[in-house]
């Protein structure tokens, strides 16, 4: 019950509420280099979680990065959050960086004033474990930088761990040193594979594969990764009509 309440407070998207480290599979990647990177990332994260009690006292978090979309960073960050919530009494909170910024903006536009913005910033600054997903994808503006500085600095001073996922390596972020130095000091940087996880795709189409107008780069990949299932060349309505007609003829001729 308590865990349930803590999980809902964490604001994890529904699809990420049950993900765990145990269900992370290296085989989701095809490329041997990716498998190797994923194995190392997984070892690093297991080490982090095994020593979490002492590392959290020092405010150590994680910076999970890879330039490639869909490589499993968010899923891993959510697995870490779930693990922490299941094994400690700490409260974690998940938020995409864009959501943090739009929330600040909407409170601001709502004219509920600086006080509400401060409350949101305080909440994010004080939560035991904060997960900032997709850090670096938000629009880069001076005020955005200032708000992130406030959150990150407050957490830095109070030794509260933050787990970031990002499509940028730390040195590729557009933020200035005040932010990146603090992240560097307080996180283990975990490289994720530069490969999207191989997930099955189900296509339906009015064309056979060779009739598609796309070039070979696309059709070859589809050909390699799908079973092609031919469906009847007759509409269901027509088929029902035909069947009724056949039954009628059969009854008449009986
Ligand atoms: N090891 C894994 N085993 C099975 N499925 C996985 C694995 N890693 C990721 N996935 C699935 O692959 C999809 C993409 O993963 P995820 O969203 O975590 O990628 P990402 O690196 O955060 O992408 P982006 O850079 O776009 O934010 C998700 O549906 C996720 O559940
Ligand atoms: Mg992501």
| DSSP assignment string, 77-114 | HHHHHHHHHHHSS--EEEEEHHHHHHHHHHHHHTT--H
Mean pLDDT score, 133-143: 89
Give the model confidence (pLDDT) of 10-65 as tens digits.
Answer: 788 888 888 999 989 898 999 999 999 999 999 999 999 999 999 999 999 999 99
Instruction: Give the model's pLDDT for residue 247.
Output: 83
Domains in the chain: boundaries: 2-191, 209-253
* Ligand 1 site residues, Cβ closer than 6 angstroms: 24-25, 28, 69-75, 134, 165, 167, 197, 199
- Choice from 28, 62, 74, 191 to test ligand 1 binding pocket (greatest atom count within 8 A of CB): 74
Q: Class of 2-191 per CATH? A: alpha beta
Instruction: Give the model's pLDDT for residue 251.
Output: 79
pLDDT band for position 119 (cuts 50, 70, 90): confident
Give the model confidence (pLDDT) of 175-195 as tens digits.
Answer: 999 999 999 999 999 999 999
- Choice from 12, 69, 70, 199 to test ligand 1 binding pocket (greatest atom count within 8 A of CB): 70
Instruction: Give the model's pLDDT for residue 130.
Output: 96
Instruction: Give the model's pLDDT for residue 240.
Output: 82
Q: Which atom of ligand 1 is nearest to the CA of 23?
A: 3
């Amino acid at each position: 019950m308590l865990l349930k309440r803590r999980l809902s407070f964490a604001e994890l998207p529904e699809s990420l509420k049950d993900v765990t480290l145990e269900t992370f599979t290296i085989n989701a990647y095809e490329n041997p280099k990716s498998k190797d990177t994923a194995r190392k990332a997984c070892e690093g994260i297991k080490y982090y979680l095994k020593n979490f009690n002492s590392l959290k006292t020092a405010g150590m978090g994680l910076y999970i990065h890879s330039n490639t979309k869909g490589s499993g960073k968010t899923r891993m960050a959510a697995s870490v959050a779930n693990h922490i919530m299941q094994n400690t009494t700490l409260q974690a909170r998940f938020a995409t960086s864009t959501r943090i910024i739009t929330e600040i903006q909407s409170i601001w536009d709502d004219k509920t004033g600086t006080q509400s913005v401060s409350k949101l910033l305080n909440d994010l600054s004080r939560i035991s474990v904060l997960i900032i997903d997709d850090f670096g994808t938000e629009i880069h503006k001076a005020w955005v930088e200032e708000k992130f500085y406030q959150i990150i600095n407050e957490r830095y001073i109070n030794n509260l761990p933050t787990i970031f996922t990002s499509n940028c390596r730390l040195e590729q972020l557009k933020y200035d040193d005040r932010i990146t130095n603090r992240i560097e000091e307080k996180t283990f940087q975990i490289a994720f594979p530069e490969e999207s996880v191989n997930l099955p795709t189900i296509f339906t189409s009015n064309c056979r594969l060779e009739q598609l107008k796309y070039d070979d780069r696309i059709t070859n990949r589809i050909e390699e990764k799908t079973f092609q299932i031919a469906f009847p060349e007759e509409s269901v309505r027509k088929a029902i009509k035909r069947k009724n007609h056949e039954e009628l003829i059969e009854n008449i001729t009986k």
